[in-house]
Amino acid sequence: INENLKAFTAKQPQLEDYEEKLKEFTNFEKVKKIPNAEQIGALNLTTAHLKKGLLDKIQQWKEAFSRELHKKAKSSLDHLTDDIKQLKFKLQKPAKDIDTLGNVMHALEEIRIKESSIDLQFRPVTEMYNLLELHLASIMDKEEM
């Protein structure tokens, strides 16, 4: 699993690539529909252990890819949060004289410039978390959802 995950992340996958992989793993869960036993003449084939093993492996793959996507989403969100905290810090400085007032005005201008880019940066992060919630909500903390 780790080797395949490293090869996958080395390609710098986009959200669509993660979505495709997670859908693929979800599609493999059709194994659940296989009957636990199959009677063929005098032979009774029991597939319960095989099914359980396959489903466990599928779950491990889903969790590995979901954890990787979660790391990527969390990193992007942390970066955005840091940017917003820095701007907030600049705005919270008291304007006691003309120089500090100029700094506050510069911070407001910086916010105005970055506003649309911040909105654009939040969209993919939101989409990543939505994808994680859809396929494997157990990876995330409740506060992240």
Residue 126 in any domain: the answer is: yes
- pTM recorded for the entire structure: 0.76
**Rounded mean pLDDT, 64-70:** 93
Residue 87 in any domain: the answer is: yes
Residue 42 in any domain: the answer is: yes
Residue 80 in any domain: the answer is: yes
pLDDT at position 75 over 60: yes
Closest by CA to 5, choosing from 75, 76, 71, is 71
Q: Which domain holds residue 83?
A: 2-139
- State the DSSP code for 37: E
Residue 11 in any domain: the answer is: yes
Total structural domains within the chain: 1
Residue 144 in any domain: the answer is: no
Residue 130 in any domain: the answer is: yes
